[in-house]
């Protein structure tokens, strides 16, 4: 049986229809990530689950219990906010134990739960400090610890890493992944960063304009996107999507027929650069991004196609050079004029292997 189930979820703010009918089933122990561009409804959806917003239509079931209209305090959920929301005058221990004290839990039980959470999060030596004496990453861990001590059925994270710098984001992302494995808790995590989605999730829910575009494992979304929006949203750098008219040699090279007004989708690793005489497709190197372990090369063809090639090595190419462009046609995705997928490259790749 589904552990958490959203049935026909709608949310309206006056005349604005924000969530437009979402059905989603989440299993016990899953790490689910809601991802999408700003304004897609992902944070609103999380707030509806948390009980911080009232559902306009639909039903929310948790472990067999209807909690659609239950107050947030009675839902057995714990939320970690982007802003940490710590009490500045309280110590770390007091912040983490506050909800349990309000619930009149025995002091010995509170201490045991707080100390256990502090051990898990490497906060034991900071329990007497106030938030102002902590770094951003430590404050976020305190906010997570406050959720852990409540022992909820579901953890809700609303963009918890967006206030951290790049190094801390990477470190805290690893800590959240380890924490999920240790606790085995059901987790729903909202982010606009698809790298976080790809590295943390058991399944990713891609949202756009208040609707679900696709649900699947990170690699399912990467290899078999449902449409052009998902194809370009998942993956860094994003998939090359070129209008068919800008790559007229593609049908000749691939033997495939392109949909009228459609486009060709190529992951950067499916584009290889060669000497000009080794490919019927030529391009001019516009920019090189040498990232150490890999190199990204931006190329423009005479017909206007802009392509990014990913190399897992360094290169002697320079901006301004003319190169041959070779395409792994087996890995090409084809889209019609409406952005619907007509051929998934992963299917051909799977057959090849």
The confidence score (pLDDT) of residue 22 equals 97
Is 338 a member of any domain?
Answer: yes
- Statement to judge: residues 21 and 54 lie in one domain: yes
Last residue of a domain, one of 223, 246, 281: 223
Between CA 164 and CA 324 the distance in angstroms is: 42
- Statement to judge: residues 250 and 212 lie in one domain: no
Is 231 a member of any domain?
Answer: no
The pLDDT tens digits of the residues spanning 295-305 come to: 999 999 999 99
DSSP letter for 340, please: B
The confidence score (pLDDT) of residue 353 equals 31
Strands of 322-327's sheet in order across: 271-274, 322-327, 282-290, 295-300, 306-311
CATH label of the domain that carries residue 30: 3.40.50.300
- Statement to judge: residues 43 and 87 lie in one domain: yes
- Statement to judge: residues 82 and 193 lie in one domain: yes
The confidence score (pLDDT) of residue 150 equals 87
Which is higher by pLDDT, 99 or 211? 211
- Statement to judge: residues 61 and 209 lie in one domain: yes
- β-sheet bridge partners, residue 78: 155
The confidence score (pLDDT) of residue 348 equals 41
- Statement to judge: residues 165 and 308 lie in one domain: no
The confidence score (pLDDT) of residue 346 equals 59
The pLDDT tens digits of the residues spanning 218-269 come to: 999 999 999 999 999 999 899 999 999 999 989 888 888 888 899 999 999 9
Is 156 a member of any domain?
Answer: yes
∠ CA 229-32-44 to the nearest 5 degrees? 70
Is 230 a member of any domain?
Answer: no
Comparing CA positions, the residue from 149, 152, 130, 150 lying closest to residue 86 is 130
The mean predicted confidence, pLDDT, of the chain is: 91
- Statement to judge: residues 254 and 217 lie in one domain: no
Last residue of a domain, one of 165, 190, 223: 223
Handedness of CA 87, 93, 97, 102 (dihedral sign): negative
pTM of the model: 0.89
Q: Domain count of the chain?
A: 2
The pLDDT tens digits of the residues spanning 146-189 come to: 988 988 999 999 988 887 777 778 888 888 888 888 888 899 99
- Statement to judge: residues 34 and 57 lie in one domain: yes
319: left (phi over 0), alpha (psi -120 to 50) or beta: beta
Confidence band of 81 (pLDDT split at 50, 70, 90): confident
- Statement to judge: residues 212 and 253 lie in one domain: no
Q: Report the share of the chain in percent with pLDDT over 70.
A: 97
Distances (CA, A) of 166 to 38, 135, 141, 169, 201: 20, 14, 16, 5, 19
Q: Which domain holds residue 245?
A: 237-352
CATH label of the domain that carries residue 264: 2.40.50.140
Asked if pLDDT for residue 350 goes beyond 70, the answer is no
């Amino acid at each position: 049986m589904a552990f958490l189930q959203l049935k026909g979820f709608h949310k309206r703010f006056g005349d604005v229809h924000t969530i437009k009918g979402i059905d989603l089933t989440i299993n016990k122990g899953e790490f689910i990530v809601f991802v999408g561009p700003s304004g897609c409804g992902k944070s609103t959806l999380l707030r509806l689950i948390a009980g911080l917003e009232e559902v306009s239509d639909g039903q929310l079931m948790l472990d067999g219990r209807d909690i659609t209209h239950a107050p947030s305090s009675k839902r057995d959920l714990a939320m970690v906010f982007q802003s940490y929301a710590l009490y500045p005058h309280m110590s770390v221990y007091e912040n983490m134990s506050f909800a349990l004290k309000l619930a009149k839990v025995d002091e010995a039980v509170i201490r045991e739960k707080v100390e256990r959470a502090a051990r898990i999060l490497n906060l034991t030596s900071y329990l007497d400090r106030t938030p102002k004496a902590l770094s951003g990453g430590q404050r976020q861990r305190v906010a997570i610890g406050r959720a852990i001590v409540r022992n909820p059925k579901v953890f809700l994270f609303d963009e918890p890493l967006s206030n951290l710098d790049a190094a801390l984001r990477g470190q805290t992302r690893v800590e959240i992944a380890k924490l999920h494995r240790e606790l085995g808790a059901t987790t729903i995590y909202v982010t606009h960063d698809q790298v976080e989605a790809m590295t943390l999730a058991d399944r990713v829910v891609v949202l756009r304009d208040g609707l679900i575009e696709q649900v699947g494992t990170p690699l399912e979304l990467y290899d078999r996107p449902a449409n052009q929006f998902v194809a370009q949203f998942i993956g860094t750098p994003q998939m090359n999507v070129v209008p068919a008219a800008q790559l007229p040699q593609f049908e000749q090279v691939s033997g495939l027929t392109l949909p009228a007004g459609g486009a060709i989708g190529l992951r950067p690793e499916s584009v290889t650069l060669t000497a000009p005489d080794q490919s019927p497709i030529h391009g001019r190197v516009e920019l090189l991004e040498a990232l150490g372990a890999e190199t990204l090369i931006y190329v423009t063809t005479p017909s206007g196609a802009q392509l990014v090639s990913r190399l897992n090595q360094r290169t002697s190419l320079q901006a301004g050079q003319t190169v041959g462009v070779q395409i792994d046609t087996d890995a090409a995705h084809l889209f019609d004029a409406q952005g619907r997928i007509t051929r998934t490259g992963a299917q051909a790749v799977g057959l090849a292997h």
